[in-house]
Homo-oligomer: A and B are copies of this chain.
Amino acid sequence: MRFTSQTSSDGVTEQFFTLDEIPGVLWTPEDASAPRPLILLGHGGGQHKTAPGIVSRARRYAAEGFAVVAIDAPNHGDRPRDEEFGRIAAEMRAGIAAGENPGALVAGMHSYLAGQAVADWQAVLTAVQRLDQVGAGPVGYGGMSMGCGLGIPLIAAEPRIRAAVVGLLGVHGLAEDAARITVPVQFLVQWDDQMVPRDQSLALFDALGSAQKTLHANPGKHGDVPSFEVDSSLRFFIRHLS
């Protein structure tokens, strides 16, 4: 793990790093030295580790004492694109433009990325937990849309993750992994999501194996999650990780 830059503002330190081929960012409270709970943030499709929605949540969580990590997903951000990804992305766009079932097309893309994404997160988690200011404490995961599509297999596979806030995605391709998840989950639905049919969202919530799961639905389209849900996710992580 190699740190490439460090800046601090408003009480939060932001460090860019690379671990092998994976570019990432670590946010911690300024001058943090003792272990603390860690939150992994997975970005949406076509976005990257410093998308505005990731940075604002990361800084908010870090200001409350958490360590937070975001990485570029495979074929996203500063990482190289492979030919197969380009082919799948083009097919997905053409299919959606032609009116095909977006759930199946999006699930195909996530399925292509998930194996590598899960391995990346597991390697980053191991490396970050070796840092004095993080340590081997409880871990949460937060990710919407593609961050949910790659997060569900990760949470199902990774026993170190104890709680998750996910959503903005349907059940397509995820039912089996969702059923294996038993940790507390807060699940977000946008009631008028133009990309995810409502019944498919509700079916993914339904499929989660967790005894403690809670669904929050709000009016508006895919990108219109209200800002109070950031506060709510913070309280959820405090409740389950602190």
Contact = CB atoms under 8 A, between A and B. Distances in A.
B214 A217 contact: yes
A126 interface: no
Given A228-B239, A232-B232, A239-B228, A213 B219 contact: yes
A211 interface: yes
Nearest to A214: B218
Contacts of A232: 232
Interface string A191-220: 100000000001001100001111111110
A217 B205 contact: yes
Interface in A225-242: 226, 228, 231-232, 235, 239
Nearest to A239: B228
Contacts of A239: 228
A226 B236 CA distance: 13
Contacts of A217: 205, 214-215, 217
Contacts of A191: 206, 215
Size bin of chain A's contact surface: 20 to 34
A71 to B, nearest CB: 30
A207 to B, nearest CB: 12
A62 to B, nearest CB: 21
Nearest to A217: B215
Given A228-B239, A232-B232, A239-B228, A214 B213 contact: no
Given A232-B232, A239-B228, A216 B219 contact: no
Interface of A: 189, 191, 202, 205-206, 211-219, 226, 228, 231-232, 235, 239
Given A189-B215, A214-B216, 12 more contacts: A191-B206, A205-B217, A211-B219, A212-B226, A213-B218, A214-B217, A214-B218, A214-B226, A215-B218, A216-B216, A217-B217, A228-B239
23 contacts: A189-B215, A191-B206, A191-B215, A202-B202, A205-B217, A211-B219, A212-B219, A212-B226, A213-B218, A214-B216, A214-B217, A214-B218, A214-B226, A214-B228, A215-B215, A215-B216, A215-B217, A215-B218, A216-B216, A217-B217, A228-B239, A231-B235, A232-B232
